[in-house]
Amino acid sequence: MAVSYYRILGVAPTAEHAELKKAYRELARRFHPDRNQGHPLAESRFRLISEAWSVLGETDDRRKYDQFGPVGLMRGRARPGVAGSVERLVTNLESFVDSRMKRTPKRGKDRRRQIQISLSQAVYGGEIGIDVVRREKCPDCSGLGCEPGTYYDPCHVCDGHGVVKSGNGLLAVTEECPFCGGLGKLAQSPCQSCGGVGERDVSRHVTLDIPAGVQTGRRLALRGYGEPGQSGGQDGDLFVELTVQPHPHYQRNGDDLTCILPIRLSEAVLGGQAAVPLLDSGAVTIRIPAGSQSGQTLRLRGRGGKRSNGSSGDLFVELRIETPVVDETKIRSVLASLDQLSKYPKRAALQEAIDTAKPDV
């Protein structure tokens, strides 16, 4: 512990036991985690206060601490001379490195999220609104970290400087104050909304631009909507991964689209016209050729998805003859008459191949 236990309790090294006990109780009551929920230093502050009292509240431990410092509490005896100096140097160097790392600006971590979009949005692009959570200045305390009408007190551990110094000469190290986190001040009454941090998570409705032609798995970045940065570092980003929902009538093949069009038997035989819904909006009327077969494909140029060069792919309309749902007792004679009037060349060719095939020996 680089910081003096006396400084943590806010008393002089000559303080009597009763004064130490009073200071401990007041600090423990003020900085108890239950009264400072949400503050990132709540638990560490209370731990520092308890640690200081556990040493200074015991006569024997306090005597060792006064004579030899923290080293005197190790293994129940002091380590004077070269060994003690080396150990203090190592401890101070560790504290120095840890303090520098805390003060170094650190970029916040990125967040990831998945959303579903329609096939139309994937093919033609557009805008979609999503709710995202972002770390922002607390609106209740205006980022000050204390309840309205209250103020800050200088940190009693670092005297409001935000840093503490330990050791002498080559062993001297200046580090961030562990009690105030380098702010140099302590809120008289921490803001209940943000726990005294001055920031809190706020939900925002933002617009996400979806480029035309995206596929499932494409990631889009919302800059600054990730985890908040530390020590002045940049906020992370939010990466939104897209999943394209299947469409009941359309399939996608690169920049081309395929629409499955059910047609009636009469349309397949005699031909006709049918409306095909377009993926973006509206519909287009196509001509069904007489004698169409199930699986036959018609091509509409330029009605597909957008390409990167500004042109568009094609729309393929696949015809599928739909078997009608009928009353068998009423349709049986009609179908029998239709079979007598109809020719089925593919079925006939298959039967001919069966009739002319040589039997296996």
In the chain, what are the domains? 5-104 (1.10.287.110), 111-144+190-244 (2.60.260.20), 250-355 (2.60.260.20)
Q: What gap in Å lies between CA 19 and CA 72, rounded to an integer?
A: 23
> Order of strands across the sheet with 256-263?
250-253, 256-263, 315-321, 297-300
Question: Is the pLDDT reported for residue 249 higher than 80?
Answer: yes
DSSP 8-state symbol, 156: T
Higher-confidence position of 200 and 76: 200
Q: Residue-wise over 20-44: b if at least 16 C-beta within 10 A, else e?
A: beebbeebeebbeeeebeebebbee
pLDDT above 70 (res 254): yes
* DSSP β-bridge partners for residue 67: none
pLDDT band at 18 (very low <50, low <70, confident <90, very high): very high
Nearest to residue 214, comparing CAs of 122, 310, 118, 308?
122
pLDDT above 90 (res 175): no
pLDDT for the residue 77:
45
Q: Is the pLDDT of residue 100 over 60?
A: no
Helix (H, G, I), strand (E, B) or coil at 263: strand
- Could you tell me which residue, 149 or 79, shows the higher pLDDT? 149
Q: Phi and psi for 278 in degrees, rounded to 5? A: -90, 150
Question: What pLDDT sits at residue 218?
Answer: 94
Yes or no: say if 220 and 111 are a contact pair by the CB < 8 Å rule: no
Ramachandran angles phi, psi of 296, nearest 5°: -65, 140
- State residue 317's pLDDT score: 94
- How many Å is the maximal CA-CA distance in the chain? 119
Residue 83 has pLDDT above 70, yes or no: no
Is residue 320 predicted with pLDDT exceeding 60?
yes
Give the bridge partners for 252, in sequence order.
257
Give the pLDDT confidence score for residue 90 in this predicted structure.
47
Whether the Cβ atoms of residue 65 and residue 56 lie closer than 8 Å to each other: yes
The alpha carbon torsion through 66, 69, 70, 73 (nearest 10 deg) reads -60
> Does 39 score more than 50 pLDDT?
yes
Q: How far apart are CA 192 and CA 253, in angstroms?
A: 55
Query: What's the DSSP call for residue 192?
Result: T
Per the CB < 8 A criterion, the answer to whether 46 and 27 are in contact is: no
**Residue 196 to residue 36: CA distance in whole angstroms:** 8
Tokens standing for 313? Answer: 């792919």
Span 347-358, average pLDDT: 78
Mean pLDDT, range 180-197, rounded to an integer: 82
